């Protein structure tokens, strides 16, 4: 199997040590007004330090799954349990899920009236109650980490798409989330800017951040993903280790999807 050996990343030769389950979804269902069934019974468990990549055709429910995991949508049936907080549940639980889950959106959704630094410090100050000077020090460190040390005073409109998305990642990290969700974080970017964002995401994965990543970047999925979920029509159709999924998808739909994507 020379072919397979080739594709194995030497850095991942020794198996990653994963912690206990930190995010769990059980039997999630969600139907939107107009009768569109976005989720039709989705269950998944994410262990601490794991990078789960969710792939699938558009409209398969990937985004809705992430939006349930981060507490933006409440599932019609089933539940999400993140570090003991339940959804649907009390308002406190919902707020805990929202603060402990970092979300990165396709369209960045930075606050345009705030500088990059203020975008990052806002939530720690308001939701974590951090004093301004400490929030600022943390924010500067985070912006440095995503390679934007010299852009702290820039407004979103003065930044490129890739830079905006990196600010958005720093903003989510500032809440010290237990898990980071990426909802097609590179889909709205010009091709030459995708690399810089994926680089930051790879770095996070390497540092052991727990991540659930919805993406069309199959290269990233194969290299950085521990596990791949293939979703179609509101269900998880296939679930496998990243290397295994890309080498030999089991189902017909996954095979067709991959042949289109690769």
Partner 1 sequence: MTPSSRTSPLSRLAQPLPDLLAFAALAALVVWGVLAGARNLGYHWQWYAVPATLLTWGADGPAAGPLLQGLLLTLALAGTALPLTFCLGLAACLAALSDSFAARAVSRLYLEAVRNTPLLIQIFLLWFVAAPLLGMGRFTAGVLALALFEGAYAAEILRGAVLSLPRGQWEAAHALGLSRAQTYARVVLPQALRRALPPLTGQAVSLVKDSALLSAISLFELTLRAQALVSDTFLTFEIWFTTAGLYLAVNLALSAAARTLERRVRLRG
122 is a site residue for partner 1 (CB under 8 A): yes
Under the binding rule (CB under 8 A), the answer on residue 197 touching partner 1 is: no
Pick 164 or 215: Cβ nearer partner 1:
164
**Sign of the alpha-carbon torsion through 103, 108, 114, 119:** positive
Q: Does 71 bind partner 1 (CB under 8 A)?
A: yes
Q: How far apart are CA 135 and CA 129, in angstroms?
A: 9
Q: By CB under 8 A, is residue 130 in contact with partner 1?
A: no
Stretch that binds partner 1, among 11-19, 120-128, 185-193, 250-258 (CB under 8 A): 120-128
110 binds partner 1 (CB under 8 A): yes
Q: Backbone phi, then psi, for 8, in 5-degree steps? A: -75, 135
Q: How far is the CB of 124 from partner 1 (least distance, A)?
A: 9
| Residue 92 Cβ vs partner 1, minimum distance, rounded to whole Å | 11
C-beta closer to partner 1: residue 158 or 244:
158
Q: Cβ 230 to partner 1, closest distance in Å?
A: 25
Assess 132 for contact with partner 1 (CB under 8 A): no
Residue selected from 36, 127, 206, 261 as contacting partner 1 according to rule CB under 8 A: 127
Counting contacts by CB under 8 A, is residue 123 touching partner 1?
yes
Residue 70 CB, nearest approach to partner 1 (Å): 5
Interface with partner 1, residue 156, by CB under 8 A: yes
Tally of CB atoms within 10 A around 228:
26
CA–CA distance, 69 with 187 (Å, rounded to integer):
20
CA atoms lying within 13 Å on the CB side of residue 203: 14
One character per residue 13-52, x = contact with partner 1 (rule: CB under 8 A): ----------------------------------------
Sorted by sequence, the CB contacts under 8 Å of residue 212 that are 6+ apart come out as 23, 46, 52, 54, 66, 69, 179, 180, 181, 182
Residues 79-98 that bind partner 1 (CB under 8 A): 95, 98
Q: Which residues bind partner 1 (CB under 8 A)?
A: 70-72, 95, 98-99, 101-103, 105, 107, 109-113, 122-123, 126-128, 154-158, 168, 171-172, 175
């Amino acid at each position: 199997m020379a072919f397979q050996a080739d594709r194995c990343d030497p850095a991942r030769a020794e198996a990653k040590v994963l912690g206990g389950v930190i995010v769990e979804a059980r039997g999630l269902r969600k139907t939107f007004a107009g009768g569109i069934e976005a989720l039709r019974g989705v269950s998944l468990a994410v262990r601490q330090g794991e990078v789960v990549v969710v792939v699938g055709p558009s409209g398969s429910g990937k985004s809705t799954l992430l939006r349930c995991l981060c507490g933006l949508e409440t599932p019609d049936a089933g539940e999400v349990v993140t570090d003991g907080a339940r959804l649907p549940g009390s308002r406190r639980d919902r707020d805990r899920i929202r603060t402990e889950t970092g979300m990165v959106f396709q369209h960045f959704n930075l606050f345009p009236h705030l500088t990059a630094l203020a975008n990052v410090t806002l939530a720690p100050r308001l939701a974590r109650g951090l004093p301004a000077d400490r929030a600022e020090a943390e924010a500067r460190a985070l912006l440095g980490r995503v390679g934007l040390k010299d852009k702290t005073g820039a407004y979103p409109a003065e930044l490129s798409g890739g830079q905006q998305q990196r600010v958005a990642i720093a903003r989510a990290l500032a809440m010290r989330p237990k898990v980071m969700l990426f909802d097609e974080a590179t889909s709205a970017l010009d091709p030459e800017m995708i690399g810089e964002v994926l680089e930051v995401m790879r770095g996070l994965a390497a540092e052991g951040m727990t991540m659930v990543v919805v993406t069309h970047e199959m290269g990233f999925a194969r290299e950085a993903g521990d596990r791949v979920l293939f979703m179609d029509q509101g269900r998880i159709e296939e679930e496998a280790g990243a290397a295994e999924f890309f080498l030999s998808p089991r189902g017909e739909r996954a095979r067709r999807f991959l042949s289109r994507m690769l």
